[in-house]
Amino acid sequence: TCRDWSSDVCSSDQIEVFLSTEYLSAFFVIIISFYLSASAASAIAGNIEKKNIDFDLSQPISRTAYALSQISVTYFYSALLVIGNTLLIWLLCHAYKVEINNSGLIAFAITAIAFFWAIIGISFFLSSILKNKLAVTLATVAFTLASYVFLSLTNIIDKIKDLKFLSIYQLYTPDKLLGSGEIIWKDITILLFISAVGLLAALEIFNKKDL
């Protein structure tokens, strides 16, 4: 962290370590994931639970179009939340004369959007299977937390260190992104693939689901 906040300018590497450790690695993800999973859960499971989906589908609209119209809002707001948080970090750093890697912020924002889209894909898939909004939300948040804890364990337990690839958090590295400013396109591709698979699987199940 930045040890001397009374100085005119704090170094870039200090603020990036602080942001990654104290905010972006866990707290930021948990809060946003909770909101996004609740939103994604409402797309199918929430509407089934409220028993108003029959009326919605009685309109001249296909199930696919209906589901996409519901989930697209969640995708949009996830990107908006990430961009808003990134801009806020940039503004606060400049207001307090704290140096920060601008290219790192851009790399982080792009990766974070792809990461949350993957979470939305998973949550949307669960929403097509379960009929309870709360169950979908809790399952998604539990998956996110479990991925974070598992990745942390792989860093301290030698026997499972080669299993890091099982955690989705392995593809979300705010410390490296903020520091290097380099976008890891392979990770972005995998995250978008997870999102697409979740989305397509959810649509397939929803189209065949007996409501």
Q: Tell me what percent of the residues of the chain surpass a pLDDT of 70.
A: 93
pLDDT surpassing 90 at residue 59: no
pLDDT tens figures, 72-129: 999 999 999 999 999 999 999 989 888 888 999 999 999 999 999 999 999 999 999 9
Identify the bridge partners of residue 10 per DSSP, sorted by sequence position: 98
DSSP single-letter state for residue 173: -
Instruction: Kindly indicate the confidence band of residue 56, based on its pLDDT and cuts at 50, 70 and 90.
Output: confident
What residues contact 183, with CB distance under 8 A and at least 6 apart? Answer: 106, 107, 110, 111, 177
pLDDT tens figures, 128-149: 998 899 999 999 999 999 999 9
pLDDT value for 78: 96
pLDDT value for 54: 73
Length of the chain: 211
Instruction: Give the CA distances from residue 63 to residues 70, 120, 122, 191, in Å, rounded to whole numbers and listed in that order.
Output: 11, 19, 19, 25
pLDDT value for 9: 42
How many angstroms separate the CA atoms of 90 and 103, rounded?
Answer: 11
